[in-house]
Amino acid sequence: MTAAEQAVELERLWGEGAVVALARPEERDALAKALPVDMEPLRHWGPAVLIGSGGSGGGRRWCLQPLEHLRQSAEATGAWLRAVGIDPAGTVLVNPLPLHHVSGLLPLVRSRLWGVPLHGLSAELMRQPGALAARVILPPDRRALLSLVPTQLQRLMADPAGVAWLRGFAVIWVGGSGLAPALAAAARVEGIRLSPCYGATETAAMVAALPPPAFLAGRQGCGHVLADVELRLDATGAIEVRSTRLSPGWLSDDGSGLQPLGGPDGWWRSGDAGRLNPAGLQVLGRLDGAIQSGGETVFPDQVVQQLRPWLSRAGLHLSELLLLPVADAEWGQRLVALYRADGIAEPPLQLLMEAARRLPPAQRPLRWIACPELERNALGKWELGRWRTWLDRLDHRNNLGD
């Protein structure tokens, strides 16, 4: 079934008041096991979806999102667009993400609510910037809107045809994982109107977004909250969200039903660390990915963003770089760097370590390990459990060799 046919079927089921389970093919068995024997309590919320959240930390849970919440999210996005001078009714939505991704589901809801065209793009076409630019011609009489994950943005910006195509969009929302400073800087040079944003499946997509003019002017972070959202930080620095479009809950693994998401006061703790300042929200990284090293809290994603430009200036162009924690008797935890270098000679270990010496001691990788198969998943996220297992097996083999 094509993406367009899936959308038609989804809307048909919604019209019948159904709760529709959406998952990647390889996750359908896991979702089926979590479904309660009695689905009737879920139908209390009206037409809805069950859609996956998380996965980057090795876990996965299935959230209930009523159609009414998705529509509220689309309304809030429309209000945000009007605030930046764009009439939602005069737009066209271009969607390269699948329906089982919340940022791939919302374009469908937005297009119906705003009464505007929606064009879906296949994953195969997104990997061919030249063909994409030739086939997908943006209409001159509408403001084009696009949602991307950083991996897709990076791939398109590596090709002049992709850069030219991206320039045609009025807004490009970028979420899903951190936007590297070097990639953001390159987009500014090319005049690409990015809108770094923050959101989750639990919040029915984005809750904060930086307007493109502010991005192009050099402002960092994810901007201010949308009209129907409140943000705060808890004592640990975790981002907490309160909104009437929060998911009512998630399915327990044992099939016993829906577990409440928010606390009694309506706040949901996201698990992402952040800062709030007059410019809005800055996301630091996953709290479950942060480590304590030498008495300091270290966010591996932030370290990667610092390392990337230094490595590039040293001529060390790595296709992928992932930092994982390992136990250390003296420091508590240290970072180990897994990297992939496509189509180039193996980077000298000495040069990698020299670039890393610019970092504070707690942030410097203890080891650098070539990993030719290192890759993100289809949504541009790291499956940390997979790569921790890979590292454990490598260390086990090396210990046996010793």
Domain boundaries, the chain: 3-287, 290-401
Task: Report percent pLDDT > 70 for the chain.
Answer: 95
The C-alpha atoms of residue 14 and residue 147 are separated, in whole angstroms, by: 24
Residue 345: predicted pLDDT: 63
Q: What is the average per-residue pLDDT within 354-373?
A: 91
Comparing 28 with 199, which gets the higher pLDDT?
Answer: 199
Q: Which of 70-79, 216-225, 258-267 has the lowest mean pLDDT?
A: 258-267
Q: What is the fold, at CATH topology level, of the domain defined by 3-287?
A: Rossmann fold (3.40.50)
Residue 400: predicted pLDDT: 66
Please tell me which of 18-27, 108-117, 273-282 the model is most confident about, judged by mean pLDDT. Answer: 108-117
Residue 146: predicted pLDDT: 98
Q: Which of 136-140, 184-188, 255-259, 277-281 has the lowest mean pLDDT?
A: 255-259
Q: Which of 112-116, 172-176, 241-245, 324-328 has the lowest mean pLDDT?
A: 172-176
pLDDT score of 231 more than 70: yes
CATH architecture of 290-401: 2-Layer Sandwich (3.30)
Question: What torsion do the CA atoms of 271, 277, 279, 282 make, to the nearest 10 degrees?
Answer: -20
pLDDT score of 55 more than 50: no
pLDDT score of 268 more than 70: yes
Rounded to two decimals, the pTM is 0.79
pLDDT score of 118 more than 50: yes
Q: What confidence tier does 58 reach under pLDDT thresholds 50, 70, 90?
A: very low
Tokens of 58: 């090795």
Write the single-letter amino acid at 161. Answer: A
Give the closest residue to 97 by CA, choosing from 110, 116, 78.
110
Residue 151: predicted pLDDT: 76
Contact 53, 61 (CB under 8 A): yes
Query: What is the residue-averaged pLDDT of the chain?
Result: 89
Strands in 312-370 per DSSP E: 320-328, 332-340, 367-370
Q: What confidence tier does 47 reach under pLDDT thresholds 50, 70, 90?
A: very high
Give the pLDDT confidence of 302-351 residue by residue, as tens digits: 889 889 888 888 888 888 999 999 988 778 889 999 999 876 667 888 88
pLDDT score of 250 more than 80: yes
Q: Which of 1-10, 61-70, 166-175, 338-347 has the lowest mean pLDDT?
A: 338-347
Give the pLDDT confidence of 137-150 residue by residue, as tens digits: 999 999 999 999 88
The C-alpha atoms of residue 93 and residue 97 are separated, in whole angstroms, by: 12
Contact 89, 127 (CB under 8 A): no
pLDDT score of 23 more than 60: yes
Provide the angle, in degrees to the nearest 10, between the axes of the packed helices 349-356 and 300-313. 120
Q: What confidence tier does 152 reach under pLDDT thresholds 50, 70, 90?
A: confident
Give the pLDDT confidence of 66-111 residue by residue, as tens digits: 999 999 999 999 999 999 999 999 999 999 998 998 999 999 999 9
Q: How many CA atoms lie within 13 A of 353 on its CB side?
A: 7
Residue 56: predicted pLDDT: 38
DSSP 161-177: HHHHHHTT-SEEEE-SS
Please identify which residue in the block is written with the tokens 């936007």: 179
Residue 287: predicted pLDDT: 79
List 258's β-bridge partners, or say none: 251
pLDDT score of 257 more than 90: no
